[in-house]
Structure 1
Amino acid sequence: MTPPAVTPQPQPEAAPPEAPRPGALLARLRRLTWVGAALGGLWLAGLLTFAAHIPRAPEDESATTDAIVVLTGGSERLETGFDLLAAGRARKLFISGVYRGVDVRALLRMSQATPTALECCVVLGYSADDTLGNAQETARWMQAEGFQSLRLVTANYHMPRSLVEFRHALPDVRIVPHAVQPPNVRLDGWWHWRGTAGLIISEYDKYLVAFLRHAFGL
């Protein structure tokens, strides 16, 4: 006996997805706005703190170290480095981030220093292209020399980021910051000066990237 045919039952159609309610979209938008405002507030507070702590003068000018390290980027830095070396603040001067083809005599002439007096104690580093490279290049040189302390010479606005990189690359080395004041960087009322404000904001963002990179081990 043939069983009766089973007629397939029609399946109920799936209900269309419920569209988000206007109230839910508005609540989500408000949350995102609050998050964005909070992050912006933190960034602004950090910027103001960063700017307030840019060094206005060198730290402990009379201290002696094994080496003086100058990061290229301004004639004031080179002159300061040569003056410190001439004053006996260290045994050697290391200039990091020098262009290929530039020699010690050329840098001494640029800074109006006396070649015969300082040439023997100046070493140039050619491999660094940025602040991270400066720190790594200096670390290799310091290790080769067996030095345990250095005076770091760079522009005042650049010093916070430089210290982040150098302290990470040279954790066991004593670092004495020696900030140079570029004449075109106006720290008093810096927000009124477009060039200085742009420079400080840019440097603050780079500082944050360097700090977070080391904080998260990237």
Structure 2
Amino acid sequence: MNALERAKPDLPEGIRPEGEGRRRRKGPVRIAVRVVLALILIAAVAGAGGFLYFAETVASMEAPQDPKADAIVVLTGGYQRIDSAIGLLKQGAGQRLLISGVNPTTSGTQIRKLTQSSSALFECCVDMGYEAVDTIGNANETARWISDHQFRRVLVVTNNYHMPRSLLELRVSDPQTEFIAYPVVNSDLRNGNWLRQPGIVKAMLSEYLKYSLARLRAVIGARSWSGLRGDMSGLSGS
């Protein structure tokens, strides 16, 4: 027996040196940290891949040639959308037009003048929707309008980046109706140059996150908000 062995104290059975116990405790902690980091990495890769797929889907959207439907709905957010929808109505692409999500301070006459449309067209064929305050509200307002008029096939006019979420919410609110996308393109995303434009990247990321949340709500059935002014006033008064 050498001097080092003689210096080691004898420990009672079942008791290990202090350093060995500390090393054993660190093992599970290290594994847990690695698992968490791996999950974060997987989520980041999946999120990036999902965003790129979303961007490619939006970039490849094209308006159908000579579209035909029972009616047209345009989701407010810019007069270019409304101009496009009015143009479709004039071409006979649909019988009626709903402008959904109109600001309560905006009149039909103002929109008619801005789009240089006739009074006769607005009186016969254009409905103003003042109830919707967001995309869910657009979907619910549109579903009620479709039910009132018994439409079955409806053109949806909105920006290309907004179209996936709009169609998703519309189909949740009204699964029976066939919705046809008519995207309005404000920025050309096909050449990839938008990736060097922070404003467009920010808008696309924001819309992708909203779309992802909308998909999650649709899967778990967690939509508890109607997005309609009437329901908001009822809640505030209760």
Q: Sort the TM-score into its range (normalised by shorter chain).
A: 0.7 to 0.9
Q: CA deviation at 1:113?
A: 2.5
Select the structure that is richer in helix. 2
What is the aligned partner in structure 2 of residue 136 from structure 1?
140
Structure 1: distance between partners of 2:52 and 2:158: 21
Can you list the C-alpha shifts for 1:81-137, whole angstroms capped at 9, x where unaligned? 110001111110000000113222211112222333444210011110110110000
Residue 77 of structure 2, aligned match among 73, 76, 97: 73
- Structure 1 residue 114 and structure 2 residue 105: aligned? no
Quick one: which amino acid aligns to residue 191 of structure 2?
D
Can you list the C-alpha shifts for 1:127-164, whole angstroms capped at 9, x where unaligned? 10110110000001110111111100000000000010
What is the aligned partner in structure 2 of residue 101 from structure 1?
105
Can you list the C-alpha shifts for 1:27-75, whole angstroms capped at 9, x where unaligned? 2111110000001111111000000000545443313111100000011
What is the aligned partner in structure 1 of residue 42 from structure 2?
38
Quick one: which amino acid aligns to residue 216 of structure 1?
I
For residue 58 of structure 2, give the secondary structure of its aligned residue in structure 1: coil
For residue 177 of structure 1, give the secondary structure of its aligned residue in structure 2: strand
- Structure 1 residue 191 and structure 2 residue 186: aligned? no
Bigger CA drift: 196-205 or 185-194?
185-194
- Structure 1 residue 84 and structure 2 residue 92: aligned? no
- Structure 1 residue 207 and structure 2 residue 214: aligned? no
- Structure 1 residue 28 and structure 2 residue 32: aligned? yes
What is the aligned partner in structure 1 of residue 220 from structure 2?
216
What is the aligned partner in structure 1 of residue 12 from structure 2?
none
Q: CA deviation at 1:26?
A: 1.9
What is the aligned partner in structure 2 of residue 3 from structure 1?
none
Can you list the C-alpha shifts for 1:2-33, whole angstroms capped at 9, x where unaligned? xxxxxxxxxxxxxxxx8672333222111110
Quick one: which amino acid aligns to residue 147 of structure 2?
Q
Structure 2: distance between partners of 1:49 and 1:186: 13
Query: Aligned residues, how many?
Result: 200
Structure 1: distance between partners of 2:150 and 2:189: 38
Structure 1: distance between partners of 2:184 and 2:123: 22
* Contact kept in structure 2, 1:95 and 1:123, CA below 8 Å: yes
What is the aligned partner in structure 1 of residue 160 from structure 2?
156
Quick one: which amino acid aligns to residue 188 of structure 1?
N
What is the aligned partner in structure 1 of residue 54 from structure 2?
50
What is the aligned partner in structure 2 of residue 7 from structure 1?
none
Structure 1: distance between partners of 2:147 and 2:217: 24
Distance 1:97 1:121, change over 3 A: same
Quick one: which amino acid aligns to residue 221 of structure 2?
G
TM-score, with length taken from structure 2: 0.79
TM-score, with length taken from structure 1: 0.86
Structure 1: distance between partners of 2:220 and 2:71: 30
For residue 53 of structure 1, give the secondary structure of its aligned residue in structure 2: helix
Structure 2: distance between partners of 1:174 and 1:205: 25
RMSD: 1.7
What is the aligned partner in structure 1 of residue 4 from structure 2?
none
